């Protein structure tokens, strides 16, 4: 009978292992014989569980309302036509339309910026980061003498619900903060979608997106600065989407 090998002798490291410090992506996992090491297999299952949990986490509206109230921000809560989470997942179209009626008090007041907080596909991301980001953004726009509309919190909502909301508000710039589809590297990532003169029927080429806002990605402070900078460019040029580029981009367009 041949002598048994030590348990760790079959583990093979990946030559790309040094690159792991630059990314949260699953690279250089190594091998245990012809399979993944047990630790990596268990890590994958844990990340998958986190992603599922994030998808079905309750949207903690009361906590966000409290944080915005402390910042003296006016808020409104609306609901999409998706009556529950199951309907939201099965019928994306319902998440883009408003069910709430009579929620907006029509006035002669003109707003420059509308901020919508939508639960999206990761309410956990919104619960963790949206309150602080809304406060930071509101401060930046108000310091620039821009009029910010009451903050709208939208339940069971997708990105395009911002268009339906702005049909009533008629703000120049609409910013939708929404929980992004949870992945195996980041289950609590927040995204920001900016649209100039948003209205129902707009498609995604009309929007700009800043994504990957979470503790291991884009910080709230940095995200607020980027969203504000891009938003100001959108207001100045009166455009958004494919015609507008982030100032940080090396391939900036000059319409």
What pLDDT tens digit does each residue of the chain (255 aa) get? 444 444 455 677 777 877 777 887 777 778 887 788 888 777 777 777 777 777 788 999 999 999 999 999 999 999 999 999 999 999 999 999 999 877 887 767 899 999 999 999 999 999 999 999 999 999 999 999 999 999 999 999 999 999 999 999 999 999 999 999 887 778 899 999 999 999 999 999 999 999 999 988 899 999 999 999 999 999 999 999 998 987 654 433 333
Q: 244 Cβ partners below 8 Å, 6+ apart?
A: 196, 208, 230, 233, 234, 237, 253, 255
Count CB neighbours of 137 within 10 A: 24
d(CA 95, CA 79): 9
Beta carbons of 226 and 252 less than 8 angstroms apart: no
CATH of domain 61-243: 3.40.50.11240
Q: Give the largest Cα separation in the chain, rounded.
A: 90
Count CB neighbours of 114 within 10 A: 24
Phi, psi of 39 (to 5 degrees): -60, -40
pTM of the predicted structure, to 2 decimals: 0.84
d(CA 86, CA 176): 22
Beta carbons of 197 and 228 less than 8 angstroms apart: no
Q: Where are the domains of the chain?
A: 61-243
């Amino acid at each position: 009978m041949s002598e048994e090998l030590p348990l760790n002798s079959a583990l093979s490291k990946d030559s790309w292992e040094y690159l792991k410090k630059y990314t949260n992506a699953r690279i250089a996992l190594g091998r245990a014989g012809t399979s993944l090491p047990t630790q990596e297999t268990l890590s994958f299952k844990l990340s998958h569980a986190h992603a599922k949990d994030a998808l079905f986490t309750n949207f903690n509206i009361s906590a966000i309302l409290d944080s915005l109230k402390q910042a003296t921000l006016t808020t409104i809560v609306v609901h999409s036509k998706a009556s529950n989470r199951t309907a939201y997942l099965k019928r994306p179209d319902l998440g883009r339309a408003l069910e709430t009626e009579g929620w907006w008090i029509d006035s002669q007041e003109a707003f420059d910026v509308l901020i919508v907080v939508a639960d999206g596909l990761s309410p956990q991301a919104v619960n963790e980061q949206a309150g602080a980001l809304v406060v930071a953004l509101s401060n930046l726009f108000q310091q620039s003498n821009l009029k910010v509309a009451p903050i709208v919190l939208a339940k069971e909502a997708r990105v395009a619900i911002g268009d339906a909301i702005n049909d009533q508000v008629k703000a120049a710039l609409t910013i939708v903060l929404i929980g992004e589809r949870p992945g195996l590297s980041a289950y609590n990532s927040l995204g920001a979608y900016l649209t100039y003169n948003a209205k129902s029927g707009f498609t995604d080429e009309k929007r700009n997106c800043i994504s990957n806002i979470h503790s291991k990605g884009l910080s709230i402070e940095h995200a607020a600065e980027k969203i504000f900078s891009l938003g100001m460019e959108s207001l100045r040029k009166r455009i958004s989407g494919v015609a507008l580029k982030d100032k940080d981009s090396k391939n900036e367009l000059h319409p």
